[in-house]
């Protein structure tokens, strides 16, 4: 186990290749001075999303780095422009207008500052991209729960969407697997399998399945499909022989599972980024130009978000979960005990995929969050109407309540999938004592533990555009069910991707901006784990500091106290028997908490969160909570 941990810790380093590459590019560019972190004071970053290109400017101010200006423009990957740089220049021009700083040269490139006093240009320019559907990959491994899962983790961690996972034991017959490979059009394929010195036959067999299937890449017909091999080193010659055709571009990296006890995702992840730049980006319209502009490699947006979350978790020594709920997909990132995991729930989203959320969760589960009378048939039609007209926004309170109910279920399902994926390594030898006789646990337990979760960061339309901050906070609490003490925050303007790339270049700047401008702290949630009868005492609290309160919470109660941004308070909790707030069942705990726009939320509704079965009782409960949180206008 211990070995496994070290293996993973290594893999979660923030792109060891970046600083080096940055340096190379810096010295190669004779236009401006080599990179000296102390001299960087104007940073320009863009994120080319599938619909909008967002640019931000970060400047050194007397109090440290701050995000100062931002601009937005539609992304221009598709016709009629078919050149991503047009959107980039448009968004950057908006910043230029606002800041009065000239950023775009006459030839349309980004201006670099010539001296520290230069009023125009920036010191570094970085970018992320998820345009054109992001990075789509297919992964393969021998055993689904082992090397294939490690490969999937590597791909997801690099910011890819995993279209399918092919494994020797995925219960598909070989011809079905080939059929599936043929249907997909991945940007690249990651093949792994076998420990070093382990299985060769099945690894080669996988390669032999993929090669004749000739998966066609998404961009361009002439394009050679990049294949990354990160499996058993003994199988390399055979795999190289199999992919020795005109249609493939094979690159070999270290095994991502050198032993069963060890996972080494770093090399595979880095190679994915390289290939993403060399092949995928190079074929997307305008990216060849954009790549020459940036001072650090362009990263896939989710990969960058993962990086900033890891940096924060590592620097502050905390466990963090980030979620980005979009129209079509929901991304969940987590860092527990320095182990990073990311999942993409492909069909859980709030517009294109809203109907799928309803289908997967079931209308009953969604309606359990609704305290108003709604007609189910009408709702079903509304859901479908939102799906076919995804850009509409809820106009009435009723529509908002329903949309947030759907969001709760989408987030809950996405988090559930994440928990199932973010596990310790499987297939690892266990050490036992006789004392374990009745408590044998299998390997592959989820790393996600809500009790040890310190920070929950939300981003994405339904969360960041909720009319009231309290709605975002309660959405997070209801969907993620944090236990013990958890800080809740939201990404103000979806700046995390920019900061993720920046973290690879200038970690200090990235962290300062993250703390000061990126996150809007909503407050802290204190929740008791355990179950009890509604109305029975759950825990006693006493709060001192900027807020002075004390009292008792009964099971089923939810209470909010104002504790503004920047304010802190010491919260002492004495849970009743069977309830746990972090120190163990029935044990007292005391902690310093941060305030925020929502404040301090005490949650005695129990974990797992159970809503009364009976409709009128449940609605009464919901109404009480809504009142306590001041959630909706009366």
Show contacts with another protein in window 238-267 (CB under 8 A): 238, 257, 260
Instruction: Identify residues 156-175 at the interface with another protein (CB under 8 A).
Output: 168-169, 171, 173-175
Number of residues this chain uses to bind another protein (CB under 8 A): 93
Please identify which residue in 36, 80, 377, 577 interacts with another protein, judged by CB under 8 A: 377
Instruction: Identify residues 352-371 at the interface with another protein (CB under 8 A).
Output: 352-353, 355-356, 358-360
**How far apart are alpha carbons 270 and 253 in whole angstroms?**
10
With binding defined as CB under 8 A, does residue 632 bind another protein? yes
Give the range of 16-24, 59-67, 422-430, 542-550 binding another protein by CB under 8 A.
422-430
Give the range of 439-447, 534-542, 577-585, 610-618 binding another protein by CB under 8 A.
439-447
**Strands across the sheet containing 549-554:** 549-554, 537-545, 568-575, 589-594
Instruction: Identify residues 23-52 at the interface with another protein (CB under 8 A).
Output: 50-51
Query: 163-166 long-range CB contacts below 8 Å, 24 or more apart?
Result: 163/136, 163/137, 163/138, 164/138, 164/139, 165/138, 165/139, 165/140, 165/141, 166/138, 166/139, 166/140, 166/141, 166/206, 166/209, 166/210
Place of tokens 């009964």: 554
CB of 237 to another protein, least distance (A): 10
With binding defined as CB under 8 A, does residue 194 bind another protein? yes
Give the range of 187-195, 316-324, 510-518, 522-530 binding another protein by CB under 8 A.
187-195
Write out the two tokens for 633. Answer: 């206008």
CB of 475 to another protein, least distance (A): 14
CB of 445 to another protein, least distance (A): 11
Instruction: Identify residues 75-104 at the interface with another protein (CB under 8 A).
Output: 78
Nearer to another protein, 239 or 525 (CB): 239
Q: Which of 272, 291, 204, 284 is closest to 244 using CA atoms?
A: 204
What are the residues whose beta carbons fall under 8 Å from the beta carbon of 400, sequence distance 6 or more?
A: 394, 467, 632
Please identify which residue in 41, 251, 347, 452 interacts with another protein, judged by CB under 8 A: 347
With binding defined as CB under 8 A, does residue 388 bind another protein? yes
Please identify which residue in 2, 30, 107, 389 interacts with another protein, judged by CB under 8 A: 389
With binding defined as CB under 8 A, does residue 61 bind another protein? no
With binding defined as CB under 8 A, does residue 387 bind another protein? yes
**How far apart are alpha carbons 125 and 507 in whole angstroms?**
15
CB of 465 to another protein, least distance (A): 7
With binding defined as CB under 8 A, does residue 216 bind another protein? yes
Contact between residue 262 and residue 3 where contact means Cβ atoms under 8 Å apart: yes
Count of H helices and E strands in the chain? 20, 22
Q: What is the DSSP letter of 262?
A: B
Write out the two tokens for 493. Answer: 């303007």
**How far apart are alpha carbons 626 and 505 in whole angstroms?**
44
Nearer to another protein, 75 or 510 (CB): 75
Nearer to another protein, 28 or 634 (CB): 634
What are the residues whose beta carbons fall under 8 Å from the beta carbon of 7, sequence distance 6 or more?
A: 258, 261, 262, 263, 264
Nearer to another protein, 145 or 417 (CB): 145
**Strands across the sheet containing 330-336:** 339-345, 330-336, 320-325, 455-459, 484-491, 519-527, 599-603, 558-561
Nearer to another protein, 43 or 401 (CB): 401
Instruction: Identify residues 121-150 at the interface with another protein (CB under 8 A).
Output: 132-133, 142-143, 145-147
Please identify which residue in 85, 200, 330, 472 interacts with another protein, judged by CB under 8 A: 200
CB of 3 to another protein, least distance (A): 12
Please identify which residue in 138, 140, 161, 178 interacts with another protein, judged by CB under 8 A: 178
Residues 115-145 as b or e (16 or more Cβ within 10 Å = b): eeebebbbbbbbbbbbbbebbbbbbbbbbbb
Contact between residue 527 and residue 560 where contact means Cβ atoms under 8 Å apart: no
CB atoms within 10 A of CB 72: 16
Instruction: Identify residues 526-555 at the interface with another protein (CB under 8 A).
Output: none
CB of 133 to another protein, least distance (A): 7
Give the range of 279-287, 331-339, 381-389, 599-607 binding another protein by CB under 8 A.
381-389
Instruction: Identify residues 464-483 at the interface with another protein (CB under 8 A).
Output: 465-468
With binding defined as CB under 8 A, does residue 573 bind another protein? no
With binding defined as CB under 8 A, does residue 180 bind another protein? no
What are the residues whose beta carbons fall under 8 Å from the beta carbon of 580, sequence distance 6 or more?
A: 451, 483, 484, 528, 529, 530, 586, 587
Query: How far is residue 94 from each of residues 97, 384, 498, measured CA to CA in Å?
Result: 5, 37, 17
With binding defined as CB under 8 A, does residue 593 bind another protein? no
Nearer to another protein, 201 or 550 (CB): 201
* Strands (DSSP E) found in 528-604: 537-545, 549-554, 558-561, 568-575, 589-594, 599-603
With binding defined as CB under 8 A, does residue 440 bind another protein? yes
With binding defined as CB under 8 A, does residue 585 bind another protein? no
């Amino acid at each position: 186990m211990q070995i496994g941990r070290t293996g993973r810790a290594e893999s979660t380093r923030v792109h060891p290749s970046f600083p080096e590459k940055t340096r190379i590019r810096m010295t190669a560019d004779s236009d401006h001075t080599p990179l000296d972190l102390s001299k960087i004071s104007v940073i320009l970053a863009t994120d080319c999303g599938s619909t909008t290109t967002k640019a931000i400017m970060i400047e050194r101010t007397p109090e440290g780095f701050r995000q100062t200006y931002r601009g937005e423009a539609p992304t221009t990957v598709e016709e009629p422009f078919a050149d991503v740089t047009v959107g980039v220049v448009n968004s950057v021009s908006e910043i230029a207008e606002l800041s009065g700083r000239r950023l775009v040269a006459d030839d349309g490139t980004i201006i670099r500052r010539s001296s520290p006093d230069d009023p125009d240009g920036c010191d570094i320019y970085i970018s992320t991209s998820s345009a054109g559907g992001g990075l789509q990959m297919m992964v393969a491994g021998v055993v689904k729960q082992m090397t294939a899962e490690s490969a999937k983790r590597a791909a997801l961690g690099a910011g890819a969407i995993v279209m399918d996972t092919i494994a020797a034991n995925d219960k598909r017959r070989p011809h079905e697997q080939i059929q599936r490979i043929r249907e997909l059009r991945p940007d690249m394929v990651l093949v792994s399998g076998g420990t070093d010195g382990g299985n060769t036959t099945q690894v080669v067999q996988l390669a032999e399945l993929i090669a004749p299937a000739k998966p066609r890449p998404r961009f361009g017909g002439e394009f050679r499909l990049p294949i990354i091999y990160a499996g058993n080193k003994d199988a390399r010659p055979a795999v190289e022989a199999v992919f020795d055709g005109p249609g493939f571009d094979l690159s070999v990296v270290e095994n991502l599972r050198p032993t069963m006890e060890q996972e080494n995702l770093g090399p595979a992840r880095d190679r994915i980024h390289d290939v993403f730049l060399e092949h995928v980006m190079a074929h997307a319209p305008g990216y060849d130009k954009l790549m020459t502009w940036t001072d650090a490699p362009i990263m896939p947006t989710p990969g960058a978000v993962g990086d900033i979350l890891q940096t924060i978790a590592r620097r502050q020594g905390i466990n963090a979960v980030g979620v980005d709920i979009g129209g079509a997909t929901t991304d969940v990132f987590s860092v527990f005990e320095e182990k990073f995991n990311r999942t993409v729930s492909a069909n859980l989203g709030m517009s294109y995929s809203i109907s799928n959320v309803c289908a997967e969760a079931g209308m009953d589960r969604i309606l359990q969050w609704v305290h108003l009378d709604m007609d189910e048939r009408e709702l079903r039609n509304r859901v479908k109407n939102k799906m076919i007209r995804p850009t509409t926004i809820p106009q009435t309170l009723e529509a908002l309540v329903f949309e947030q109910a759907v969001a709760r279920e989408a987030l809950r399902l996405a988090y559930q999938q994440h928990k199932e994926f973010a596990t310790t390594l499987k297939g690892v030898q266990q050490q036992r004592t006789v004392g374990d006789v009745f408590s044998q646990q299998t390997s592959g337990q989820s790393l996600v533990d809500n009790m040890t979760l310190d920070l929950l960061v939300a981003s994405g339309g339904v969360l960041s555009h909720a009319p009231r901050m309290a709605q975002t906070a309660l959405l997070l609490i209801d969907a993620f069910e944090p236990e013990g003490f958890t800080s809740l925050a939201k990404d103000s303007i979806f700046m995390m991707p920019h900061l993720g790339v920046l973290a690879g270049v200038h970690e200090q700047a990235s962290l300062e901006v993250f703390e000061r401008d990126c996150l809007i702290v909503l407050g802290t949630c204190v929740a008791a784990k355990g179950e009890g009868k509604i109305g029975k005492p759950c825990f006693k609290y006493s709060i001192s500091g900027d807020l002075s309160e004390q009292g008792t919470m009964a099971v089923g109660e939810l209470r909010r106290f104002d504790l503004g941004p920047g304010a802190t308070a010491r919260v002492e909790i004495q849970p009743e028997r069977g309830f746990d707030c972090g120190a163990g069942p029935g044990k007292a705990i005391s902690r310093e908490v941060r305030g925020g726009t929502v404040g301090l939320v005490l949650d005695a509704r129990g974990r797992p969160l159970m809503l009364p079965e009976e409709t009128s009782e449940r609605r009464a409960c919901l109404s009480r909570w809504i009142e306590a949180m001041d959630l909706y206008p009366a």
